[in-house]
């Protein structure tokens, strides 16, 4: 079910960039990219939680909003004080995203192996 949401997100981004030709100010690029990365991290975390049977929509939605806002705020504060907090957030969110993705992949590989054993 979460995979359908991820597919919808990807299609929405493609439509927004290719069809609608949405342009944003260049100054927003760092903040929006970090917010998007935080959103993807939350989406992969929700997918993982769904596979583990512990998904809660309220936790997912609040996590999505709070993570995106916090990541953008960190980038903004880093710009204001002259410290590259953007990179720290990217490394942290990227690491979490790859961890969740590896656990999702492992889940599906285990399911595939079980089906092959059954016959």
Query: Is 40 a domain residue?
Result: yes
Q: Looking at the 3D structure of the chain, how many domains does it have?
A: 1
Residue 10, token pair as written in the block = 């990807």
The domain in which residue 102 lies consists of: 26-118
Q: What's the pLDDT tens digit per position in 72-87?
A: 888 888 889 988 888 8
Q: What's the pLDDT tens digit per position in 42-57?
A: 889 998 999 999 999 8
Query: Is 32 a domain residue?
Result: yes
Query: Is 14 a domain residue?
Result: no
- pTM of the entire predicted model: 0.76
């Amino acid at each position: 079910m979460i995979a359908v949401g991820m597919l919808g997100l990807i299609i929405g981004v493609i439509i927004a960039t290719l069809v609608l030709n949405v342009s944003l100010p260049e100054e927003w690029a760092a903040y929006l990219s970090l917010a998007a990365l935080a959103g993807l991290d939350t989406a992969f975390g929700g997918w993982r939680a769904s596979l583990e049977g512990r998904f809660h929509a309220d936790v997912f939605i609040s996590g999505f909003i709070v993570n995106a806002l916090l990541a953008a705020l960190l980038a903004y504060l880093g710009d204001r004080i002259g410290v590259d907090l953007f990179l720290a957030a990217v490394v942290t969110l990227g690491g979490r995203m790859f961890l969740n993705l590896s656990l999702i992949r492992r889940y599906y590989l285990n399911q595939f192996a079980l089906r092959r054993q059954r016959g």
